[in-house]
Every structure is written in C-alpha cells, then in structure tokens.
Structure 1
Amino acid sequence: MEKNTRSIRIDCPKLLITRNESDLQWLIGSPFFPPLTIISTFRCIHSNSSGPDFPKESEEIRTLLLKGFDVIGALIVGKSDPEKTAARAVEAARKLKKLLTGTTKLENEETIGAVADPDTGDIRFFLSETESSTNFELVNPVSYGDNPEKFVWESGCLLLCQLPIKLPVCYPANKPSDAESIFSRAIEAVIAKFKDPNVVYLVKASNRASLDVVQPVILRGSELGFDAAVANIELLDEAAQNSEKKLLRCAHFCLKSKSTSQLLSAENADIIQISVLLNRSEKSPKCSAPAVEYFPAMDETRLLIVDFKLEVLCYAVQGIPLMHAISKLIIPGLIDQLISMKKMNLPYLLTQHPELHPYHFCPPGIAHPVTVIYELNYGETEMKQVDARRSLHLRLGLPFDRPLLRIANSLDLSIKSRSSNLSTRKGSSLLKDVHIGIPGSGVSGGSVSLVQGSYEYYHYLQDGFDDSGWGCAYRSLQTIISWFRLQHYSSVDVPSHSHL
C-alpha cells in the first residue's frame, strides 16, 4: 500500500480520552482485518515508575485475548514531544507482542504508536514499519466505522474446542518438592500431543451453525501446517474451494445465508466445534497385540489427579483453510490456556486444587469476545473473585456499577437448533417492561421515575395460581427479583409463593 493512501480505521467506540484515563492502552487488531484497523483497546493496569510490568500484562492478555486477534500498537496519554512519545508506545507494543508470541524478534510488522492529548482528547497516530526502523510516519486520515459488529461478524466465525483432561502426577512421598517439576513435565507431554502426527481433530458444525446436514471432517496432526504465520495465510474464496479436506474453508461449516433481520454479533455467530482425539487404531503394516509394561516404583509414591477443563474460543474469517485454523489458532489457544491453568495450580499442587473454568464474554462496547478463567471454589461473591472482576472492568474500560462479567453474563455456546428460531432454553411467557407506552397519570405534583433495564411483570392469578386479594406483595417481590436476574446481578430463579 502506498504511503499516501495509508489510513487508520477504528472499529470500536470512538476513543475518548480524559484526565483519568490510563496513560497506556494496548491497541487490538487482527491479521484477518485490513492493516491499521483498531477493533478495541485494553488498558495497561500493571505498571510502575519505570513503565509497564510486561510479564504481568502479557500473562493476563494472553488469557483474555482470543486467538485471531493481536496487539497492533499502543496509545500513550501525554503532552510531551509527540514523535518521541509515539516511539515509546511502539517500543512497548513490540515488547508485549514478543512476550505474547514467545519470539525474540518480530517479522516486518507495522506497529501503531498513538499519542493522545489529555486536555483536548485529540489523538495523533504514527506508524513504524519495521522493528529496525527509526522513522515514524504520521498517518492521516483516521476513519471511524459505524457498525463494528457487522465489520467483525459479517465474514467471521468462532472456533470452539472443549477438552477435559485428567492428568495423573506420581511423585515420591519422601520428596514432595519434586512434585512441581514432575507436574511441569507432564504438562509438556500433553502439549507435545497436540502436534503429534497421530492426534486427530474432529471438525463439525454445531446445529446452530447450519440448516443443512454437514458431515464432520477429520484432520490428522500430520496434515496440519505449522510453518506459515497467520498474516501470511492465503484466504480462499468460494471459487477456490478445494475438495481436499484440509483445504476446506471454515465457511463449509457456516450458515450459507443469513436472515437480513438477524443481528450480527458474537451471540449469533457461526460456531465450529473442534474435538481433540488421539488415534490409537491407525492401520499398521504389522499385526501385534497390545503390550503392557511394568515399572515398579523404587520408593513410596503418591498419586495426584489434576483436573483441567479447557475451553478455547478463537476468531477466524470464513475463508481460512481448516488446516491453518487448527494449527495457528486452536492449538496455540489450547497450549496457552493449559499453561495459564498450570501456573494457577502450582501454588496449590499438594493441597486443594483450584476449580478453574474458562468463560467467554462480549461486554458492551467491545465487538469481540474475551476469555476469563475464574476460580469457582468459593463462588462469585468471594472477595478474590470480586477483585478479579474489578480489575477486568478497569482493563476493558467497563463501568463499575453494572455486573458485566459475572458467570450469568457469559456467552451461551450450547448447541442450538437453527431448524427453527427457537432456542433450547426455556422461553418466558411473561410480559416485559409493561410501563412502556403507558400515558402519565395526570396526578398534580407527581413525578415520573423510570426503571433502568428490563423486568418481567408478575400479576394475580398467573399460571393458574389463585392469589387474588392477598398476593400483591408476593407478585411485587417476584417482579423485583426478575429485574435482578435480567440485569445479571443474580442467577437464582424467581421464587414461588411457597419459597417466599
């Protein structure tokens, strides 16, 4: 692209900078989008006087950011020399990206350095073309997309891989300190299996992804391509569709045509399910019986079973071949999530293991999902969990007065039937928001107050229950509790009369 045609495209809510903003924000893009496209921002929340705490930042963002998105730059709020400030932003973004990708040197990747004036909120965008470049190009113009969800999901889809693992760890009873290193080696062995030639990836469309019956596809580890970088993968259009299964596009498992009234969002995105299996029955030139080996322990040994419930969600465009979607998105996602859970388990390896579970959210103002690993041992109201959610609200720029990252807010990735527009969830026959459209009472001196959010209206004689003349307080309380449910402050069911 010629320099004079360069432009920044921002497909997230317009960047508004105030004096209270974090002085550093990470700019998020995707190798599947046009260059210099910003889809969201994450605030840097771990820093000290010398700058960002890169290990902490990378550890949290590695979990939070779906594969298919990456850090493409940084924004610094400040009034000092713009070009020097942009150079600091570019340096920080590249350092973070190296930690996220596990590389010591980045390829010739363009990186954005943005500088925001804390008084006016004006933002200037600079571009560094390569890591060795000392020149920074001021980029104009800057355009803002008016429909980020449509931009992300019109040609995008989600890849979902759920993988429960029970990992046995045997360690000598007289040397419990060895348990940590044995556990780490066991994790490394699991990671190696993801790329084993005999591993099998079963790819299928969820029922919510297609009206037609689409046969599952099996890809072996030996058929995957691990060499090409995501940015260099050739996307295939419909005309280039190949019958070879590894070159099938993700579009093969997606809904071929969507209703014009269907909302483009993460909740309604096509989902491709990927299962991991280990092939133990491949044809062999020699016939042989199963072999059993006995390795007696030299000393008294204890056994630990560590449970992992991996659930990796990735973003891809429909034109990417399956072989690359698995090798460059799913497998790195499984590895990163397993390593994150390993680090969370290590301090408690010989005591009570934390009950870890990944959840996926698409909070307002962010067009793509994020992944969070919650510890469920003591419930959502435990202060450790409250602090974790508060930290996430700060990073994502979410308000602190709404419960946007509780488990009840997580994306529903359960299989849904597209043969009808009905969800497998039980629907509600209750009226909602009955105050809307009601004219004013005309009471002299009265004031009107409106509820924020939705509620369900519970009333006398509902569901065939005769509470006429005495059920007023019961029904009012049920209506109030329904508001808490619908705003995700609580996930408990609305209680019946007997429960009340």
Structure 2
Amino acid sequence: MVVSDSIILRVKGPLELKCQLDSTKVPHIQSMINKTFEALCSKVKSDSLVLNVCNSPVFIWPNKDVFAKSDNITANTSCMDLLHFQTDQESTSKKSGKKKGKKNSIINMNLMTEVTEPVLSSAPVLHRSTKHHFIHTILPMDCVVTVPIDETLKVACGRLMGALSSQLCEMQTVTLQHMKETVVLVPQAFHFLLPEPTGLVTVIYPAGVPDSQLDVVRKELHHRFELPDDKPYLKRANAFHFPDEPYKDGYLRTPHVNLNHPTLENGKLYLVQGVYCYHHYMQDHMDDNGWGCAYRSLQTICSWFLCQGYVEQAVPNHKEIQEALVAVGDKQNNFVGSRQWIGSIEVQAVLNQLLGVTSKIMFVSQGSELASKGRELANHFLEEGTPVMIGGGVLAHTILGVSWSETSGQIRFLILDPHYTGAEDLQVITDKGWCGWKGPEFWDQNAYYNLCLPLRPKTI
C-alpha cells in the first residue's frame, strides 16, 4: 500500500464530451474530437474549476491560487490538516463508530465547475439547418496523486491539475484509437499498485473492449513500467481497491492481513500472494453445512484466480462444480444436485475443466507428516502464491501460508476455515480463529491427507 508518510489525493467527476460533426469522414471526425479535448483541457485549467472535499464543506478553486471556501483552509495548509478536517467531518456525520482501526490516508474530492456566467444580450441569429452528426458522452475522470503528508495544498493542487490534464490527453488518444465511425467508446481510468519503486499508476482502457483484446496494449505498458510478462499486473481485475470503498458482492477479502503473525526462531513467512474472497458454509442462500467444505475451499481458490485477472469466469456454484465433474467423467449424472463430498482430486479436476488451471497433488499418509512439509509449502507460496486446498478424513480447509524455520523445522499453518456459518464479521472470524494460525497439532495425526496446489498460469 501507500507508505505511512504519504497521502493519496483522488479527484473524481464527470466531464461532458460534446462534438458536432458536419461530416463522417475520418479526418474531420479526428479534427473535431481533438478540438473538443483541447477545450476540455482549457476548462480544467480555468478559474471556474472547483474541487469539493468529500463529506466536508470545503471547496477549493485550484487555479485561483488555491482560493478555498473555508476559514481554516489556505494555500499553505498541509494535506495532513486537510485529511484531519475530512476525518472530523465524517466522524460527526455518523451516529457512532462501530469499528476501530487505522484511518485511511485518502482525501477524496469531487470535480466540479462553476456554472454561473455573465449573460450577454445579443440580437437573434438565424441558422440554416443542415445534416449534422452529434457525439455526446460523459468522461468519468478519476485522477490520483500521492503526496507527502506535509505537502502544501497549493503544491498538491498543482500536481492534481497536471495529472488531470495528462489524463485527458490519454483519454483523447484512447478515444481516437478505438473509434468506430461516429461511435465513441468511453475511456475509463484504472489504478494499479505496481511493485516498488513504481507504485500507484493510472491506465486508460476503452469501455466495452475485453482484456483479451488488449494484449498488445498491456505488453507496451509492461515494457514501459519494466514489468515481467508472466503475470497480469494490468488487467482490470487487478485494479487497486481503495480501502475506503466497500466491495459490492458482500464477500470478505483477504482477512488474514488483519492477523498478527507468529514468531518462530529463524522463521520466515510464506504467504498467499494477492487477493481472494472468503467462501464458507451457508453463503449464497446455500445450506451446505456438513458436506460443502471442499466446495467452499475450491470457490476461494477460484476467487483468487478471478481477483488476480488470470481468468474472467465467475466463481462457480455447487451445481456448476458438480456439472464440471460429470463433464470430465469423474462422476455420474445423479451426482448433480446431490450432497456428496468432494476431495482434492476433484478440486484439481474442476480447476482444470472450468479455469484451465493445472495443479499438483501432495499426498500425506498421515497428519503427523504435515509438520515436515514446510519446505514444499514454502516453495509453493514463494513461487506460485495460490491458496492450497487440503482434505483429510471428512474435513477440508484452505492453507494460505506457512511460518517456517529452516533451521529448527518449526512450522505454523495459516488456515482459512470453510466450516464457518456466520455473517461476514471480520472481527469474529479473526478473533475466533476461523482465519488464523494453527500448529501441527491442528491436523488429525493419523488421517490421510491430499493437498491440491494450484499452479499460476504464465500470462500477461
């Protein structure tokens, strides 16, 4: 994430793109669109542009030497002070603070313009009507900059205005590249948190064009940002999720990041890489209590591949999982709609059938041997980074990582338990150990275990 001594400034708002065409010839269309974007750039640089700090009465005119409509805000106000002002306003607008935690270092602003203009009286004018084509769409501006916490508002606004102008230029390029006659595909901004030292970057993609048709664009971006070509850093699904925005589907994401990690002598952490959804009993109006734990672990694994942009398929439900096993010849037709358990071998088959993902299977003759599998699991999380499904006896779990000491052999397992039946309450899930670190004694020492270790595809 963003380091603690910096603040994210984010500006969102619509800009109207209106373009009247006297001809449908390509050169004319391109010329008129270019002129329209030039006018929008002038609008962004004009004195009428206004930024409103969300959840506050603060309005800022960034092109008027940062004139602010607030007694407490000046051009020399630090961004940290502005963040405190926003936080104070948010806290007074809520009845009570149910959750305690770190405050997000994000200042959200609305992009606005003054509409009041002097009225000029003039004589009526007659226009001869001819055939015209009209292009009209809304550009969803979404601009982000990262600044030091002690940066002045004047300097920060200068950076924001520069970023807005640059974003308009990139939207102009994307609009012209993907035009079809007089049809404009709306350019959309996506933010990605790339490995250091690059950090947070913004990429413009045309709406309606799937990721599968943007391979060439992504390859150019990978080259520009010096990224390897074996991981989809810049697919839409990998876009940075701002911590102040809730997920719409209701699933908890990556609950293990809220845990304290165990300390082992000379121990190292080897964790799942990226985002996943916590799938467990009784979700999605499905009563699978007592038989669906492996299905839920499989769903968590599928969500990982979806969240990282490796696949576009939605997470399968129980029926779709069963149908996939029938399709590959693993089960009979009467398996669909049943409450029969599945294991690691079935999980491997479904991943391959539905996602095209291959997996390795690790066989453990008894649970007591899992304590000696630290090296294999550490290498998996280091190289592949995917969640691991483990099944033994009548239980299935998801392994999200290990804390392992190569010198002493000590090991702890980070377990996501699909047997949870409650609501999506992060505190209950972490406090009660439904997502938590477990010792080797967690496993049935005499039971036979299979582990399904999904392999990450090498793709851009």
Shift of residue 362, structure 1, vs aligned partner: 0.9
Matched, 1:365 2:189: no
CA contact (8 A) 1:432 1:457 kept: no
Give the alignment partner of residue 301 of structure 2, picking from 462, 471, 480.
480
The answer as to whether partners of 1:254 and 1:272 remain within 8 angstroms in 2 is: no
Query: Deviations for 1:216-236, whole angstroms, at most 9, x for unmatched residues?
Result: 2332743449xxxxxxxxxxx
Task: Kindly provide the CA deviation profile for residues 226-270 of structure 1, in whole angstroms up to 9, marking residues without a partner as x.
Answer: xxxxxxxxxxxxxxxx9463443322221489xxx9889xxx532
Q: Amino acid of the residue matched to residue 426 of structure 1?
A: G
1:203 maps to 2:52: yes
- From the superposition, tell whether residues 255 and 406 of structure 1 become closer, same or farther in structure 2 (CA, over 3 Å): farther
Q: 2:135·2:182 contact (CA, 8 Å) conserved in 1?
A: no
The Cα of 1:342 is off from its aligned counterpart by 1.6
For residue 387 of structure 1, the aligned residue among 201, 216, 240 is 216
Letter paired with 2:250:
K
Q: Are residue 305 (structure 1) and residue 145 (structure 2) matched?
A: no
Check the 8 A contact 1:159/1:274 in 2, yes or no: no
User: Cα gap change, 1:366/1:426 in structure 2, threshold over 3 Å: closer, same or farther?
Assistant: farther
Residue matched to 2:19:
169
Counterpart in 2 of 1:132?
A: none
Change (3 A) 1:291 1:361: farther
Displacement of 1:291 in angstroms is 7.2
Could you tell me the percent identity over the aligned residues?
Answer: 25
1:53 matched residue in structure 2: none
Q: Unpaired segments of 5 or more residues in structure 1?
A: 1-147, 208-213, 226-241, 417-421, 438-449
Counterpart position of 1:494: 315
Unaligned stretches of 5+ in structure 2? 88-99, 263-270, 322-460
User: 2:303 is aligned with what amino acid?
Assistant: S
Amino acid at match of 1:157: I
Question: Is residue 460–residue 467 contact of structure 1 (8 Å, CA) maintained in 2?
Answer: yes
CA distance in 1, matches of 2:254, 2:193: 26
Secondary structure of the equivalent of 2:64? Answer: helix
For normalisation by structure 1, the TM-score amounts to 0.48
The letter of the residue matching 2:229 is F
In structure 2, the residue matched to 1:278 is 114
Separation in 2 of the partners of 1:451 and 1:218? 43
For 1:179, the equivalent position in structure 2 comes to: 29
- Residue equivalent to 1:217: 59
Paired residues, number: 296
Aligned partners of 1:298, 1:463: CA distance in 2, in Å? 57
Q: From the superposition, tell whether residues 413 and 277 of structure 1 become closer, same or farther in structure 2 (CA, over 3 Å).
A: farther
SS of structure 2 residue aligned to 1:381: helix
* Structure 1: distance between partners of 2:254 and 2:153: 44
Q: Which deviations, in whole Å up to 9, do the C-alpha atoms of 1:111-137 show, x marking residues without a partner? A: xxxxxxxxxxxxxxxxxxxxxxxxxxx
Do the aligned residues in 1 keep the contact of 2:174 with 2:206 (CA within 8 Å)? no
Residues 170, 304 of structure 1: 8 Å contact kept: yes
Contact 1:253 1:272 in 2 (8 A): no
Structure 1 Cα separation of the partners of residues 190 and 151 of structure 2:
25
Work out which of the residue numbers 231, 252, 273 in structure 2 matches 1:428.
Answer: 252
Q: Structure 1 residues 487 and 308 mapped into 2: Cα distance closer, same or farther (>3 Å)?
A: closer
2:185 is aligned to: 354
Conserved 8 A contact 2:275-2:304: yes
CA contact (8 A) 2:14 2:141 kept: yes
What code does the residue aligned with 1:249 have? S
Instruction: Find the aligned partners of 1:482 and 1:311 in 2 and give their Cα distance.
Output: 26
Shift of 1:280: 0.7
Aligned to 2:163: 333
Would the aligned equivalents of 1:171 and 1:303 in 2 still touch at CA under 8 Å? yes
**Mapped partners of 1:479, 1:252: distance in 2:** 41
RMSD: 4.5
Q: Post-superposition shift, 1:460?
A: 6.7
Shift of 1:481: 1.4
Once the two structures are TM-superposed, the CA of residue 387 in structure 1 deviates from its matched residue by 2.5
Alignment of 1:83-94 (within 5 A): none
Are 2:151 and 1:320 aligned?
Answer: yes
Contact 1:478/1:495 (8 A) holds in 2? yes
TM superposition shift of 1:356 = 1.7
SS of the residue 1:369 aligns to: strand
Name the TM-score, length of structure 2 as normaliser. 0.52
Deviation at 1:341, TM superposition (A): 1.8
1-side partners of 2:155 and 2:123: how far apart? 37
1:329-353, Cα deviation, whole Å (9 max, x unpaired): 1222222221222223235273432
